[in-house]
Chain A
Amino acid sequence: MSATLRHTGYILRGNPVTLVAGIGAALLVLIAIVGPSIAPYGPTVSNVPQALQPPSATYWFGTDQLGRDVFSRVLVATRLDLAIAASAVSISFVLGAMIGAFCGYAGGRLDRWVGRFVDVLMAFPLFVLAMALVAALGNRVENIIYATAIINLPFYIRFARAEVNVRRNSGWVEAARASGNSHVRVVLLFLLPNVLPAMAVQISLNLGWAILNAAGLSFLGLGVQAPTPEWGIMVAEGARFITTGKWWLVVFPGAALMTAVLCFNLLGDGLRDILDPRMRT
């Protein structure tokens, strides 16, 4: 354990970017928790006389067409955006890891079919699939979560399957069988613990992707509806004013999105370095 910590310390010293990304991700989570209580203005309180004010000391990020404070809205939106992404990723992670690990271990025809199906699914325009799913399931927030979870699922299945597949014929799995472990034990006690760290990296990388997808869907008017503060919708509303130079309506929620995705991606890359120095790219 201490060796792992030492190694982590070594990596972080050599890779301060990961440290910064980790701190950023922690801050985002903090904002998601306390955001609504520290926001200076109500996120949905309009103040039409003060509409479309550029950023100032009073309104740090300016105001929108209804005079709502953009800073407060960006702050409050953090919770919803992270919650959508986190729930979607958890669903797909749990399902994907299980399906992938058991298929990868079982092998045979079922595994080949699942593998092929996942490959085909991954090559399909997933964003289009998510759109169609939201359309089919109904235009609601929880359906955004399900749609995002479903389009994330193939990544986890494929990942878990591949990771388990390279290990299933390794000596230590055969040794585990020779030592009398049942198949369920082999998967749960031997294979999954070896695969999970790599999957944790995938979670971090996928969180960023899920945030982008959910925001993209809201940007199109699917799922979250106005006046709920949400980064994607805020950008969509601000888009109408960009050709007249009201940049702050797009830039701040956009920057929030970018920062969130960047933090999770960099954290994921860093974690991968910590777990496997050979995979450093």
Chain B
Amino acid sequence: MSLAAGIARRAGRRALSSVPALFGVIVFTFLLMRVLPGDPAVFFASGPNAGQAEIQMIREQMGLDKPIPQQLLLYLKDIATGNLGRSMNTGQPVVTDLINRLPASLELTFTALLFALSLALPLGILAALKPNSLIDHGVRFLCSLGVCVPTFVSGLLLIYAFYYILGIAPDPTGRLDVFAAQPPVVTGFMLIDAAIAGEWESWRAAASQLVLPAATMALFVLAPLARMTRAAMLAVMTSDFVRTGEALGLSRRRVVLVYALRNALLPVITIMGIVFSTMLGANVLVEKVFSWPGVASYALDALLTSDYAPVQGFVLLMAFIFVLVNLTIDVLYGLADPRVSIE
């Protein structure tokens, strides 16, 4: 299995090359904690009214009295054992909070990605197959517009249109209507959990809450995806091997789907990593607009109230997700393009 070996090698190399980045992020978050105004020990104490003795004890517990390099080592050890500190706002360990809230963010992001892909790919392909046609101009206009609308504005406009004027969207707060029954938590993904429990009422309620924020985020990444698809498809349609297919009498369907599209998807796969991380960033804004109980809004609340342990945890989580996403993309790319396995 040289293909699998090649992909594994490539993925391994990529994983290895993200180690410095990950380490950089860790050092960054470490410094974040140390450089920030205020004594971290105070943040980790039971509350703002903690006594001097308690703070001193925490200082020693956290190793804040030790030299910086040693503190960094201790910090690395903490991360390795999954100890990211405790949130002042919720009183919970940061890891617990992140685990509880991550599914909400992921459900939103994946749904949005699905929306965006299922729209962007056909639009980009259609535009490229008929360059300078009406549909091409339409798609290009949509793309130009799409990248200009800030997510927080488009989200609010969607709320205004669908909640206030049309009244067909539910109150834009949270993942589930207060009156709907919460399905038993299995995966944390509301739609999947409701489906497992067979509670279709809840499923509908959760889905209707999800549509607007997901659409907001999808709108944001629709443009780069459609633009890339169109450009890649255009380039491939004028390539020599598509001309070969035409010259040797292959059917239009075969030329477009097998020869052109599969090749055009390669660059689209490569920008998926950037698209996904843009979405992770946009998550912060969308979660705030829709009061979505995800990790980003959690980190933001913490940031605004100078509760730094969750911020640190969040940045680490993002770095981790980012490494995972890039590995996934490498594997996908390796499967799609036979040329990468030998290089």
Measuring CB to CB, which residues of chain A are less than 8 angstroms from any residue of chain B? 116-117, 120-128, 131-132, 135-136, 138, 208, 212, 215-216, 219-222, 232, 235-236, 238-239, 242-245, 247, 250-251, 254, 257-258, 261-262, 265-266, 269, 281
Contact = CB atoms under 8 A, between A and B. Distances in A.
Contacts of A257: 150, 153
> Interface centre among A117, A120, A125, A281, by most B CB within 10 Å?
A125
Main secondary structure of the interface of B (DSSP, over half): helix
A144 to B, nearest CB: 14
B244 interface: no
A121 B163 contact: no
A265 B32 contact: no
Main secondary structure of the interface of A (DSSP, over half): helix
Interface in B1-46: 17-18, 20-21, 25, 28-29, 31-32, 35-37
B152 A136 contact: no
Contacts of A127: 278, 281-282, 284
B150 A239 contact: no
B160 A135 contact: no
A42 B153 CA distance: 25
Contacts of B36: 135-136
Nearest to A121: B21
A121 B21 CA distance: 8
A237 to B, nearest CB: 11
Given A132-B32, A220-B288, A262-B145, A123 B277 contact: yes
A68 B61 CA distance: 51
B318 A135 contact: no
A47 B250 CA distance: 73
Contact of A235 (B32, B153, B171): B153
B277 A258 contact: no
Contact of B164 (A136, A238, A243, A254): A243
A102 B150 CA distance: 35
B319 interface: yes
B300 interface: yes
A12 B308 CA distance: 52
B231 A120 contact: no
Given A123-B277, A281-B234, A254 B153 contact: yes
A254 B157 contact: yes
B144 A124 contact: no
Contacts of B234: 281
Contacts of B20: 117, 120
Contacts of B18: 120
A247 B289 CA distance: 15
A239 B289 contact: yes
A120 B21 contact: yes
B227 interface: yes
A245 B153 contact: no
6 contacts: A125-B278, A131-B300, A250-B160, A254-B149, A257-B153, A269-B144
Contacts of A120: 17-18, 20-21
